[in-house]
Amino acid sequence: MAKGKAATVFFCQNCGYESSKWMGQCPGCKEWNSFVEETVSKSPHMGAAPSKSALRGASVSVPSVLSDIAIKEEDKLSTGIGELDRVLGGGIVQGSLTLVGGDPGIGKSTLLLQVCRNLSGSGHKVLYISGEESLTQIKMRADRIGAFTRDMLLLCETNLGEITNVIREQKPEAVVIDSIQTMYNEEVSSAPGSVSQVRESTGILLQLAKGLGVSVLIVGHVTKEGTVAGPRVLEHMVDTVLYFEGDRHASYRILRGVKNRFGSTNEIGVFEMREQGLAEVQNASEYMLDGRPEDASGSVVACTMEGTRPLLVEIQALVCHSSFGIPRRQSTGTDLNRVNLLMAVLEKRSGVQLASCDAYVNIAGGMKILEPATDLGIVLAILSSFRNKPLSPKLIAFGEVGLSGEVRSVSMARQRVAEAAKLGFDTCIVPYVCAEDCRKAGGIGIIGVKTVQDAIDRVLA
């Protein structure tokens, strides 16, 4: 394609798949009717290639010697929010591009405004650019969060050309773009929020971040599937991807690292939405177990690991007689196939007649947990509900359950036990192979079990 010549390309608005002709169904994400024609005036690889305006003023590339590059500790900028720093791997890396995604109203703008407040409070120059809200709206939100220093800069703008100029002029250390879907580049003719606009805009921000050493934090809206619009394009371009999760009805929010070029990705940060913005939740386990019914059948506490952090969660099960031929099975917060498998194990290996029962399994508090270490907890919750026999409220159980009904070892067992001991639990059912190690944690009784039947005999006989 000749340079400068306008051409049209069809983009899937759901996943960013690019095609030279229209298609009814996207081969990438299988969505129907998602192709929209967009005019592109550059090379087809414009996502990767910087735009003309971004390149203006860039220096000639010179390769560096790897061993000569010094890493300074202060290259990481602490956000002043411990939970966020943990997910980021210590803080915001200078010149990095971070994407914060999440459902509308979950608290993305609030979190980033709090970051700006903390950074400007500790003497850093920050610029908050909003394409969604007016200055007064931002001011109203800021008043709820608390006092700001005088130096924090605000800008309401959606034109990236203007934004680039302001950033070059002001030279802030950190910039927040709220949100990438509202930004547009005049050189691209398609509408803001379309795949080509979003990736062109991100490309420009990438050049700015790397060229000027500015840390850029981008807010991204999610599609109904829960991914940022144009996800593959965006996620490839940025250094760090964080997603806000959480139940709309609960006040807690979980920030999860999905991609991180500067740290581990399996860390989470737990926040609570308060009147004065987002507050860190230090003791997440206590928070998750809040309001747990004591002496109710079908309720078991299990321990899951979120990164390096143990988290206690309540598993609830309700098993009742089915009035239809095909029993109903439902799970919230955990994998339904896994629940079906565990019920089959219980039926076959322990002779529990579950075939004619409806079963509902729920992770209290709206957490989503896929870790197999919760298997034993799920099995015990199901059986406790089936027999209508409550377990001791001071008991926790964890372990992976295999198809022969064996309880297999899990990682970091000792940390899980220590967390339970810290919260006042007195008995822990753990895989037999981990029992020795778990006893070292101290302060809590350990029961090592080899099979599901062993566990049942010890606590539900």
Q: How far is the CB of 269 from ligand TYD (least distance, A)?
A: 15
Is 109 among the residues that bind Mg ion (CB under 5 A)? Answer: yes
Is 24 among the residues that bind ligand TYD (CB under 6 A)? Answer: no
Q: Which does 277 bind (CB under 5 to 8 A by kind): Mg ion, ligand TYD, none?
A: ligand TYD
For the CA atoms of 206, 210, 214, 215, the dihedral, rounded to the nearest 10 degrees, stands at 60
Query: Count of residues binding Mg ion (CB under 5 A)?
Result: 1
Q: Which is nearer to ligand TYD, 274 or 328 (CB)?
A: 274
Is 275 among the residues that bind ligand TYD (CB under 6 A)? Answer: yes
Among 76, 86, 108, 199, binds ligand TYD (CB under 6 A): 108
Query: Count of residues binding ligand TYD (CB under 6 A)?
Result: 14
Q: Which is nearer to ligand TYD, 183 or 382 (CB)?
A: 183
Residues 328-357 that bind ligand TYD (CB under 6 A): none
CA proximity to 156, closest of 124, 183, 131, 122: 131
Q: Which is nearer to Mg ion, 245 or 267 (CB)?
A: 245
Q: Which residue bears the tokens 């919260």? A: 423
Q: Going edge to edge, which strands form the sheet with 268-274?
A: 153-156, 126-130, 174-178, 215-221, 97-102, 240-245, 252-260, 268-274, 277-280
DSSP H helical segments within 224-360, as ranges? 231-237, 284-288, 336-350
Q: Which does 276 bind (CB under 5 to 8 A by kind): Mg ion, ligand TYD, none?
A: ligand TYD
Is 257 among the residues that bind ligand TYD (CB under 6 A)? Answer: no
**Is the separation of the CB atoms in 195 and 12 below 8 Å?**
yes
- Which one-letter DSSP state was computed for residue 177? E
Q: Which is nearer to ligand TYD, 107 or 231 (CB)?
A: 107
Cα–Cα distances in angstroms (integers) from residue 53 to residues 50, 118, 160, 197, in the given order: 8, 32, 10, 15
For the CA atoms of 161, 101, 232, 208, the dihedral, rounded to the nearest 10 degrees, stands at 30
Is 130 among the residues that bind Mg ion (CB under 5 A)? Answer: no
Among 257, 277, 310, 377, binds ligand TYD (CB under 6 A): 277
- Rounded to whole angstroms, the Cα distance separating 254 from 268 reads 7
Cα–Cα distances in angstroms (integers) from residue 162 to residues 103, 188, 208, 379, in the given order: 28, 15, 13, 59
Q: How far is the CB of 139 from Mg ion (least distance, A)?
A: 15
Number of Cβ within 10 Å of residue 36's Cβ equals: 16
**Please, how many CA atoms are within 13 Å of residue 293, restricted to the half-sphere of its CB?**
10
Q: Give the bridge partners for 7, in sequence order.
A: 40
Q: Which is nearer to ligand TYD, 142 or 421 (CB)?
A: 142
> Candidates 104-112, 193-201, 308-316, 353-361 — which segment interacts with ligand TYD by CB under 6 A?
104-112
Among 125, 141, 259, 439, binds ligand TYD (CB under 6 A): 141
What are the tokens at 438? Answer: 């778990």
Q: Which does 106 bind (CB under 5 to 8 A by kind): Mg ion, ligand TYD, none?
A: ligand TYD
The alpha carbon of 22 is separated from its chain's Cα centroid by a whole number of angstroms, namely 34
Q: Which is nearer to Mg ion, 255 or 381 (CB)?
A: 255
Among 30, 144, 348, 389, binds ligand TYD (CB under 6 A): 144
Among 79, 98, 109, 299, binds ligand TYD (CB under 6 A): 109
State the residues that interact with ligand TYD by CB under 6 A. Answer: 102, 104-110, 141, 144, 273, 275-277
The residues that touch Mg ion, with contacts defined as CB under 5 A, are: 109
